[in-house]
Structure formats: C-alpha cells, structure tokens
Chains A and B, each alone.
Chain A
Amino acid sequence: MAEGTFLDFEKPIVELEKKISDMRDFAIGENIELTKEISSLEEKLGKLRNDIFAKLSRWQRVQLARHPRRPYTLDYIKMMTTDFIELHGDRRFADDNALVGGLAKIDGQPVMILGQQKGRDTKQKIFRNFGMANPEGYRKAERFFRLAEKFNLPVVCLIDTPGAFPGIGAEERGQAEAIARNIFVMSRLRTQIVCVIIGEGASGGALGIGIGDRILMMENSWYSVISPEGCAAILWRDAAMGPQAAEALKVSSDDCMRLGVIDDIIREPVGGAHTEPEQAARILKTELLKVIAELRQQSPDELIESRLGKFRAMGSCRES
C-alpha cells in the first residue's frame, strides 16, 4: 500500500498485512507449505484490528471519516444502485460539481439520491471543490427535493462535507439563504427523506441537505456544529488542537446517538468502510431499503408532522 494512504494508527495493521502477503508470495514462489503460519498471522491480524478499532478516539474517527480511500457519494451510488441518471444544474446559475445527484434504483426501488462529492486525486479534488458546495449546489438539491415530491420518490441524502464553501462568490450568491431555504423546504417536503452522514458532517453545509424522517450516521463519520480544527482555531487559537476539540465537541456517531440527534448508527466493516467498500455499501443499502419501506407506510401529513416533532424536540435546556 502506498505511503500516505493509511493513517498512523492503521500502521501496525498495514505492516502485518504486508507481512502476510509477503509470506504468501514467498510460499508460492518457493513452493513451500506455510498455510499454518499464514493462518496464524491472519488470526493475529484480526485480533489486532479488533483491538485497535474497539477503542477509537473521537479524533481517530474524524481521521477515518476523512480517510483518503473512504467511499464517497458516487462510490456508494455506483455500488448500491442501478440505472443511475445524474441530473445537473440549479436552473439559476450553474452546475455545482461538489454536490451531485439524480435518479436511481435501489433493489428496484426508485429514489432521488444526492450528496456532496469529494475528489480522490488533486485534479478531482479541485474539480469537486473538496466537497464544499456553493449556493448553486444547495439550490440544485432543492430542485431535486421538489422533483422527488412531485413524483413521489423517496429522497436519500448522503452527507460528506468539510463545510459549505466560504468564498466571495458563495456570499454574493447567498450561501446562507440557500442553506436556510433547504432546511425550510425539506422540513415540509411531502415525501420520505433519509439522510446518512457517510463521512464528514460539518455544520450548516451538512444540514443544508440534512433534514429528514430518519437521520443515520455511518459508524466512523462525524457530525458537529463546526469542524474540530475550526473550533480549535477559535477557542484555543490554534487549529492544531483539533484532537482536543473533537473530544470536547463530542462529534462521533455514538455521541450524536446519545444526544438524540440521529436515529441509528450504521456499522462499518471492522477497520472502516475503506477496507471493505462493497461490504459497507451492502450494509448501507440494506438499511436504506428497510427504512424507506417503513416510511412508505406513512402519509405525507404524518411524515411532515413527525419530522417536525423530531427536530422540535432537539436541544438541552431547563426551567431554572
């Protein structure tokens, strides 16, 4: 595995994997029997992986959520759906490549599926603006929501963004209004909406496609009001304090579950979604089908009232 495509805490795992693969090559090349040795090392690998992943810190989960090999929105769409037709443009200004989506079928169930899209190499990263949508991205999403409502299609939002883009053009075209409008529209949309944080769920940029009947988080994703580094830069005046800020902000899927902000956590293969992307996509797909089938039982009136009730209840205050 190339340097830089694994995280520090993955290093012992990666090294052991390398050792096993070397031994396998050696056994084949020299035509010697090493099956026993190999399976013993594989057992050790499994244990090592379980140990490391059983006690991940919040910061380690943030790192996993940003893993350079983590599946992105279009990867999941490719692995989970058939007949995907990407739709483009907000009909007002432009097509935002940082927020993509379209029509697809999940096991034959037609859906409107969309999400922020990150790039894998430098060129793609720039093309996708690092998964940071501009107002036209949120307005494209709003168009998709209305289309889905009109044709009674469930909406699936895959959230993976380090934030809405903070740029001059974004302000000129009303980034705040675009996000606010989506929250407003999604909260009364008369069709089913399932939101899944698949990687990074940073602040308003995430919430701009984050209102739904079910809010789910992949096990190693994070969701908060600000990125750990952003928080650290403000409160500790040092972005390098990100790990401390991640702890303080309680950004993990377990935290969000405990705080009543999400409905469920979607387990990832041990080692993270990037180690077994196909398996991760299968788990997500099964969960989506289950949830959509449940929500299809409710009338639009029931949907929007319980959706409102769900967000209405969030918060933590008391009478003094």
Chain B
Amino acid sequence: MEWFKKSKPGLVSQPKKDIPDGLWTKCKSCSEIIYTKTLEETFWVCPNCDYHFRISSKKYISLMLDDGKLEEFDQNLVSCDPLEFKDSKRYPDRVKAAQQKTGRNDAIISGLGAIDKLPISFVIMDFSFIGGSMGSVVGEKIARAIERAMDNSLPIVIVSCSGGARMQEGILSLMQMAKTSALLAKLAEQGLPYISVLTNPTTAGVMASYASLGDVIIAEPGALLGFAGPRVIRQTIGQDLPEGFQSSEFFLERGFLDKVVDRKSLRHTISLFLRYFTDNVSKRAGDPNTPGASSSVA
C-alpha cells in the first residue's frame, strides 16, 4: 500500500532528549521514537518493528469500512446496575467516568456499513471503556447486530478487543457469552458468514464465546489472546510462561486462527473472505435475497 511505503522516510533513529507532547511517539516494542504523523499514516503500526499500537474503535471504522462510514445503531443503550455493585467505586460512577472519558455509552459500537460495496453488519469493541469488558450492553448490542444480519441477510464482522466479561455485572455478564453464541449458532444455520477479527487483547469470556466462533478467525500480529490471563496461569503453575505464549502467532501455530493479518491488510482480507462466502451463495440459490446478490453487480 502506498501510504505505508511513503511513511518509511519519516523514521528517526536519534531520540531527542525532550519529546514534545504528541509530536513524537515512542514505540512500546522497539523503543524507536517515531514521528506521530508517520504513525497516523501507518494506522499506528511501527514502521521499524511492525508493532501494532492500540487504536480507537473510530480509527478501525475509518480504515475498514467504505468511506470510513458506519450507520450506528443502539448507541443509546446504557448499563443498569443489576447487582448494585461497589468496590472502591460504585459501578454507576465507574460507568459514568468511562462515558465521560470516551464519549460513548459502553465498550462497543455497532451498526451497518460496507466493505468494497458489500453491505455488512459490523461490530467493534473499544478497550478504552473499562477494558472493553463485556456486560449487558455489549452483549445486547452484539445480539442485535447478529439479528440485524439475519433480518437483512447480511454477513457480520465483529472486531474484538476485550479483557473478558465485566465483573461488575456478575452472572449477567457471563450470560452474554450464552446470548451472543446462541444467536451466532442460529446465524450459522442460515448460512450467513461471520468473520471474527481479534485485536490486542482478546481474552477470557469474549475469547470463550463469540470471538472463537467465526467461520474464519483472523488476528492482528502480536495480540494477546486466550482463555486465562498470563498472571493467573503463572500463579497456577508456579512458573514463568514461554516467550510469545498466547500471542496471535502462538494460536496460529496451534490451529486456532486462520491468518495473522497486518492492520493495513485487514480490510482487503475481510473483503476477500466475504466475496468467497457470498458470491457462491447467490449463484447457488438464485435468490435475490441472498447476501451478495444485490452487491455483486457493483
């Protein structure tokens, strides 16, 4: 891709003593100091070591969807406080703080968009909202996005980024795993494609439900994936974990991913998958309502 090549000369090798706020960014992996503008152009992938910085859900929308546009749904859904949960903070206060910080009502954006003119139901999680944790709102919005896909015979793409279920909603958070996975099972019966995209991190309750149930599953390089967190595993077995344990590459090797995909290639890869899965369906069925039929003329 053009912009990616162009960005290389922007690299600086000599770190300055004082880094002006925002102008330069230090790579978390190779410690290279990079011109922030360059990172913007590479969608926040280090030109030196390929480290994928965490980016906002908005940035993913702009890099993955046609015209960077999503027709958002259900953005007004907010969490209740079913347990009246309190640790150091009351749960409603925690939610309010996250809402003020992110300008969103919860850790997820969902709606309708298109990739290469193929309409899709699209979901993206946002780690900046209480660690992308899955509570009732996340579960409900994913459920509705799956139903939207079924109602309109559309494929669905879910970009996951989450530390797992949200503790503050207790057992109801756990049940979101059941709710989303059960609807995905129904979607599968209807022959509609589901592409699961994993970003750093996707673990625990999210990984043990919808994130692992894609017809194909792809992940960004170097993402932390898995069921149990590294800290818990280390504690349980009482020894250090091997290098690269639970990374995207680790799970690719173990057979749990189809492909590790650079951020810059996400859109193209998903587009290819969707064409493979939808073009044939429309030809086979000869039904104007099957996915791909309406867009295959485009």
C-alpha spacing A307/B182, complex, angstroms? 9
Query: Which residues of A sit under 8 angstroms from B241, Cβ to Cβ?
Result: 168
B171 contact from A171, A180, A261, A319, Cβ within 8 A: A261
Cβ of A204 and Cβ of B85 under 8 Å apart? no
A225 contact from B137, B173, B225, B254, Cβ within 8 A: B173
Q: Is the CB of B178 closer than 8 A to any CB of chain A?
A: yes
A162 to chain B, nearest CB (A): 11
Q: Is the CB of B80 closer than 8 A to any CB of chain A?
A: yes
Contact string against B for A residues 230-246, beta-carbon threshold 8 Å, 1 for contact and 0 otherwise: 11001110000000000
Contact string against A for B residues 157-174, beta-carbon threshold 8 Å, 1 for contact and 0 otherwise: 000000001110111111
* Segment of A48-56, A70-78, A99-107, A310-318 in the binding face: A310-318
* Segment of B6-14, B40-48, B61-69, B183-191 in the binding face: B183-191
Cβ of B167 and Cβ of A225 under 8 Å apart? yes
B83 contact from A210, A250, A311, Cβ within 8 A: A250
Query: Which residues of A sit under 8 angstroms from B210, Cβ to Cβ?
Result: 180
* Segment of A26-34, A80-88, A183-191, A263-271 in the binding face: A183-191
Given A171-B233, A317-B78, are A235 and B167 also a contact pair (CB < 8 Å)? yes
With a 10 A CB-CB cut-off, give which of A223, A255, A315 has the most chain B CB atoms: A315
Chain B residue with minimal CB distance to A138? B208
Query: Which residues of B sit under 8 angstroms from A319, Cβ to Cβ?
Result: 76-78
C-alpha spacing A249/B170, complex, angstroms? 5
Chain A residue with minimal CB distance to B77? A317
Chain B residue with minimal CB distance to A211? B178
Cβ of A187 and Cβ of B236 under 8 Å apart? no
A149 to chain B, nearest CB (A): 13
**Among residues 214 to 246 in chain B, which have CB atoms less than 8 Å away from a CB atom of chain A?**
225-229, 232-233, 236-237, 241-242, 245-246
Cβ of A315 and Cβ of B177 under 8 Å apart? no
Cβ of A204 and Cβ of B83 under 8 Å apart? no
C-alpha spacing A312/B136, complex, angstroms? 11
C-alpha spacing A164/B177, complex, angstroms? 15
Query: How many residue-residue contacts, CB under 8 A, span A and B?
Result: 198
B219 to chain A, nearest CB (A): 13
Query: Which residues of B sit under 8 angstroms from A165, Cβ to Cβ?
Result: 236
Q: Is the CB of B82 closer than 8 A to any CB of chain A?
A: yes
**Among residues 129 to 176 in chain A, which have CB atoms less than 8 Å away from a CB atom of chain B?**
164-168, 170-176
Q: Is the CB of B209 closer than 8 A to any CB of chain A?
A: yes
Cβ of A320 and Cβ of B78 under 8 Å apart? yes
C-alpha spacing A251/B85, complex, angstroms? 12
Cβ of B167 and Cβ of A231 under 8 Å apart? yes
C-alpha spacing A180/B105, complex, angstroms? 27
A317 contact from B80, B182, B203, B237, Cβ within 8 A: B80
Q: Is the CB of B2 closer than 8 A to any CB of chain A?
A: no
With a 10 A CB-CB cut-off, give which of B80, B167, B179, B227 has the most chain A CB atoms: B227
Chain A residue with minimal CB distance to B234? A166
Query: Which residues of B sit under 8 angstroms from A181, Cβ to Cβ?
Result: 212-213
Given A204-B204, A204-B208, A314-B172, are A183 and B182 also a contact pair (CB < 8 Å)? yes
C-alpha spacing A244/B181, complex, angstroms? 31
25 A–B contact pairs at CB < 8 A?
Answer: A166-B233, A174-B254, A175-B208, A176-B227, A180-B210, A181-B213, A187-B181, A187-B182, A204-B209, A207-B178, A208-B208, A225-B169, A225-B170, A235-B87, A248-B83, A250-B83, A251-B171, A307-B182, A312-B143, A312-B183, A315-B136, A315-B176, A316-B82, A317-B77, A318-B80
Interface residues of B (CB under 8 A from A): 76-83, 85-88, 105, 135-137, 139-140, 143, 165-167, 169-179, 181-186, 188-189, 203-205, 207-213, 225-229, 232-233, 236-237, 241-242, 245-246, 251, 254-256
Given A165-B236, A171-B226, A307-B182: 7 more A-B contacts, CB < 8 Å: A179-B208, A180-B210, A183-B178, A184-B188, A188-B185, A251-B171, A315-B140
